[in-house]
């Protein structure tokens, strides 16, 4: 009985501290091998849906078994961090950037908060063996978030929270501490097909819940290192880095509220740059505008390639 009380108290303390650190939603799932998800991932890889993202086929067992990442893992803590903003690029003709990349690279911002949460657990609950993850290791983030009950995976394969939408970064703590586990929630996509209908490159399957990554605009503008295939000419919807189309049309994002994170505010010049300025962007301007941004991942030449392809 005492052990159950402790687990309940610890779970509550971790949830409260995570929310104090800025994570709006927190859920807990038992760390175990993901049988169903493993079969689905294997099928996705076999069909070549990962394109040239070869890292997706690496460390397969680590992706589907958290105990391979943290010895003795008992719990996967899933967390959601808001990045939504109502701010937009002023020139409607300018090539577009996904909202998540407006500000400082989320990896740095969220990793720091995750480490603070891990320190809190060690200082206030127990010494734990644990690791922090922010889209930086072989972890099936959306599947764990689904298991932890903080949303369902929509037809666009993004995690959707019923009261807050999908403009969220996902993060995890995998720890060797027994806690009280949450349960998956219902899928509320229903008969809606807006994301499927709106996808400019038809990357989402007709039934939904399945995305051909090699057709996704985010893949083409960020992950793909070689020339963008000519077959996508005129289908990029003017996106030069990432794509928000399937989120923009999702009815659940009517509940999105702007974040209040100074680090995610865009560089002053970013939203004001006009189409011509983007087309003529120099490496100096690129370095200034995207100094600590996730856009640096595509590098100056990669962004230039994307902008030229849109022309």
Is residue 194 assigned to a domain?
no
126 band by pLDDT with thresholds 50, 70 and 90: very high
Is residue 196 assigned to a domain?
no
> Is residue 2 over pLDDT 80?
no
Instruction: Report yes or no: 242 and 265 within 8 Å, Cβ to Cβ.
Output: no
For range 212-218, the mean pLDDT: 97
Q: What is the mean pLDDT of the chain?
A: 96
Residue 109 burial by Cβ neighbours in a 10 Å radius (0-12, 13-18, 19+): buried
> Is residue 224 over pLDDT 70?
yes
Please report the pLDDT score of residue 268 as a whole number. 86
For range 300-304, the mean pLDDT: 98
Out of 65, 91, 116, 135, the active site residue is 135
> Is residue 29 over pLDDT 90?
yes
153 lies in which domain range? 2-175
Whose tokens are 């996808």? That residue is 199
Please report the pLDDT score of residue 61 as a whole number. 92
DSSP per-residue codes, 147-159: HTTS-EE-TTSSE
Is residue 188 assigned to a domain?
no
Is residue 108 assigned to a domain?
yes
5 band by pLDDT with thresholds 50, 70 and 90: confident
Please report the pLDDT score of residue 229 as a whole number. 97
> Is residue 231 over pLDDT 90?
yes
Please report the pLDDT score of residue 58 as a whole number. 83
Asked if 135 is an active-site residue, the reply is yes
Please report the pLDDT score of residue 53 as a whole number. 83
Q: Could you give phi then psi for residue 169, rounded to 5 degrees? A: -85, 145
The two tokens of residue 180 are: 């009280």
Cα(18)–Cα(34) distance, integer angstroms: 25
Give strand pairing partners of 211. 204
> Is residue 3 over pLDDT 80?
no
Question: Collapsing DSSP states into helix, strand and coil, what is residue 35?
Answer: helix
pLDDT in tens, 45-79: 999 899 888 888 888 999 999 999 999 999 999 99
Is residue 186 assigned to a domain?
no
Residue 96 burial by Cβ neighbours in a 10 Å radius (0-12, 13-18, 19+): buried
pLDDT in tens, 105-121: 999 999 999 999 999 99
277-286: Cβ within 8 A, 24+ apart? 277/94, 278/94, 278/95, 278/240, 278/307, 279/307, 279/311, 281/307
pTM of the predicted structure, to 2 decimals: 0.95
> Is residue 254 over pLDDT 80?
yes
- Rounded percentage of the chain residues whose pLDDT exceeds 70: 99
Where is 120: in which H helix or E strand?
A: helix 106-124
Taken in order 6, 151, 136, 109, the sign of the CA dihedral is negative
Is residue 93 assigned to a domain?
yes
> Is residue 311 over pLDDT 90?
no
1 band by pLDDT with thresholds 50, 70 and 90: low
Instruction: Report yes or no: 211 and 204 within 8 Å, Cβ to Cβ.
Output: yes
Is residue 297 assigned to a domain?
no
Is residue 118 assigned to a domain?
yes
Whose tokens are 């939408």? That residue is 165
> Is residue 282 over pLDDT 70?
yes
pLDDT in tens, 137-178: 889 999 999 999 999 999 999 999 999 999 999 999 999 999
> Is residue 257 over pLDDT 70?
yes
Taken in order 20, 101, 170, 166, the sign of the CA dihedral is positive
- How many domains, the chain? 1
């Amino acid at each position: 009985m005492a052990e159950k009380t402790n687990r309940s108290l610890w779970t509550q303390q971790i949830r409260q501290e995570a929310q104090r650190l800025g994570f709006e939603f927190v859920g807990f799932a038992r760390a175990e091998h993901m049988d169903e998800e493993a079969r689905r991932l294997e099928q996705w890889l076999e069909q070549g849906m990962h394109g040239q993202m070869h890292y997706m086929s690496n460390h397969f067992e680590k992706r589907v078994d958290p105990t391979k990442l943290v010895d003795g893992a008992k719990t996967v803590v899933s967390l959601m961090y808001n990045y939504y903003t109502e701010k937009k690029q002023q020139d409607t003709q300018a090539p577009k950037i996904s909202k998540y990349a407006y500000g400082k690279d989320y990896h740095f911002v969220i990793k720091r908060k995750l480490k603070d949460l891990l320190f809190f657990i060690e200082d206030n609950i127990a010494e734990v063996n644990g690791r922090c993850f922010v889209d930086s290791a072989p972890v099936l983030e959306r599947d764990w978030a689904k298991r932890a009950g903080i949303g369902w995976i929509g037809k666009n394969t993004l995690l959707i929270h019923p009261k807050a939408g999908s403009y969220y970064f996902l993060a995890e703590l995998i720890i060797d501490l027994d806690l009280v586990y949450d349960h998956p929630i219902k899928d509320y996509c229903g008969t809606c097909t807006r994301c499927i209908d709106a996808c400019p490159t038809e990357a989402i399957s007709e039934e939904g819940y399945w995305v051909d990554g090699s057709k996704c605009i985010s893949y083409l503008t960020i992950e793909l290192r070689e020339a963008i295939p000519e077959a996508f000419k005129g289908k990029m919807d003017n996106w030069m880095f990432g794509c928000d189309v399937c989120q923009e049309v999702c009815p659940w994002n009517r509940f999105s509220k702007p974040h209040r994170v100074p680090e995610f505010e865009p560089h002053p010049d970013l939203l004001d740059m006009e189409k011509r300025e983007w087309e003529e962007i120099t490496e100096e301007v690129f370095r200034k505008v995207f100094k600590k941004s996730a856009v640096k991942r595509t590098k100056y030449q990669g962004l230039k390639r994307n902008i030229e392809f849109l022309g």
